[in-house]
Structure 1
Amino acid sequence: MRTWKRKGRGSSLRICSQLDPHEVELLSSMVTSMQELLLERESTAPTDELSEVTGIRTGHSEAPSDLTLGRLLPDFHRPDQDRAPTAEMVNGEVNRALRSVHEPHIISAKMAAAQVVLDTLPRGGGELALTEAQAMEWLTALNDVRLALGAMLGISEDTPDQLPPEHPHAAHLDVYHWLTVMQELLVEALM
């Protein structure tokens, strides 16, 4: 991936870059895997009679037990954000209610952003030209893929910039850094 460049003005403005075939394949694979995780979560959501009557979708009320999904679909409030003695109540009932109501919409938004990436990837590599709206969806999807990969790798402030080449996660960490740079350069191009 080269850098992102702005081309044109107004409604003809495009955010452009160049992707190599292996980069397209890697992005496609990671975005598709993330979609599969989200689809599995969505498909296991409980259904209720009120939802069926009103057409209002509801989702899980409990946070995902899977670390990666937990990073993609975090709680709305965590006890460590609030030292008040009612933190457990807030974390419990309010989080369950908020999750049940909002998780289907959050999953839909993440799926839509991921689909924009898949639909705009140049098959076999090559020129990529995005509208501003598509570039914003790319930012969302890149961030989600980074979060998922970071959760799987256990990325923290203590994670070194590089791992020894023989380390089983060395290549994955390189991909994480590549996604970070791609996202950062896209933000700069949009600004």
Structure 2
Amino acid sequence: MSRFARSRGKIQLHLDSTEFEVFSHSVNELLDLLDDGSEAEPLDEDDPFAAWEASFGAEPGIEDDFDEDERDPVMQRLFPRAYPDDPEAASDFARFTDASQRQDKVTAACMVLDDLDELRGGTVRIRDDHVDAWLKTLNNLRLVLSVMLGISDEISASEAAERPEEDPRSWLFTYYGWLGWMLESLLEAVMAPE
């Protein structure tokens, strides 16, 4: 099974062709999911006005009438509401933070894809400044799969694990477990002594 490892001060990951195809495809699918239809340019961190404008997120009033029960369950998991018992405060908070949170997830996934584009001999070398992007993207993929599998706690995770092989979602649980393994091995590689 693939795992991250530290070698000569760099974190590396070896992927076989199937793992590479499935993983890169799922990161691209995550990007499609996060695409809100806007053609926003990446933020220029040196432009304080661009950052200020992006901090406003959606236009005022767009989410004010938004029924929490109508939100896509995947988006609910990726962008949980800060104040679940106060719809008005939750709407205000989302209006000011959702755009930057979405952009952060998109940027992280793009960094992962950039690293995957550099695959050589089945090995991906991950720059130190990309490790956080890998952690975020692996976690975001697990969040998406947890919704698809109906996993919300340990009991539902156990039930998902017990699905028969003929259940079309059984392979999703295997992939969900693989992503968890990858997260764990990346954290171990990060913590390993140089």
Aligned-partner SS, 1:5 = strand
Residue 17 of structure 1 and its aligned partner are, at CA, apart by 1.5
Residue 3 of structure 1 and its aligned partner are, at CA, apart by 2.1
**Equivalent position of 2:171 in the other structure:** 171
Task: Report the TM-score when normalising by structure 1.
Answer: 0.79
Matched residue count? 168
**Cα deviation 1:127-167 (Å, max 9, x = unaligned):** 11112221211000000011011111111322323421111
* CA contact 2:10–2:125 (8 Å) conserved in 1: yes
Q: Of the candidates 109, 113, 132, which is equivalent to residue 104 of structure 2? A: 109
2:178 matched to 1:181?
A: no
2:53 matched to 1:55?
A: yes
**Equivalent position of 1:87 in the other structure:** none
Deviates more, 1:118-127 or 1:163-172: 118-127
Residue 43 of structure 1 and its aligned partner are, at CA, apart by 3.3
Partner AA of 1:74 in structure 2: P
Partner AA of 1:150 in structure 2: S
Where in structure 1 are there 5+ consecutive unaligned residues? Answer: 45-50, 80-90
Partner AA of 1:31 in structure 2: V
Q: Distance in 1 between matches of 2:75 and 2:121?
A: 29
* CA contact 2:4–2:186 (8 Å) conserved in 1: yes
Aligned-partner SS, 1:76 = coil
Change (3 A) 1:141 1:125: farther
Q: Distance in 2 between matches of 1:75 and 1:183?
A: 25
Q: Distance in 2 between matches of 1:137 and 1:143?
A: 10
**Equivalent position of 2:42 in the other structure:** none
* CA contact 2:5–2:185 (8 Å) conserved in 1: no
Task: Report the TM-score when normalising by structure 2.
Answer: 0.78
2:83 matched to 1:95?
A: no
**Equivalent position of 2:144 in the other structure:** 148
**Cα deviation 1:100-135 (Å, max 9, x = unaligned):** 011010001000000011111155870111122212
Where in structure 2 are there 5+ consecutive unaligned residues? Answer: 40-48
**Equivalent position of 1:67 in the other structure:** 73
Q: Distance in 1 between matches of 2:82 and 2:121?
A: 38
* CA contact 1:117–1:141 (8 Å) conserved in 2: yes
Q: Which runs of 4+ in 1 moved over 4 A?
A: 122-125
Q: Distance in 2 between matches of 1:96 and 1:66?
A: 16
Q: Of the candidates 136, 141, 144, which is equivalent to residue 132 of structure 2? A: 136
Change (3 A) 1:124 1:164: farther
Aligned-partner SS, 2:100 = helix
Q: Of the candidates 69, 78, 82, which is equivalent to residue 76 of structure 1? A: 82
Partner AA of 1:73 in structure 2: F
* CA contact 1:21–1:124 (8 Å) conserved in 2: no
Change (3 A) 1:119 1:184: same
Aligned-partner SS, 1:74 = coil
Residue 14 of structure 1 and its aligned partner are, at CA, apart by 1.2
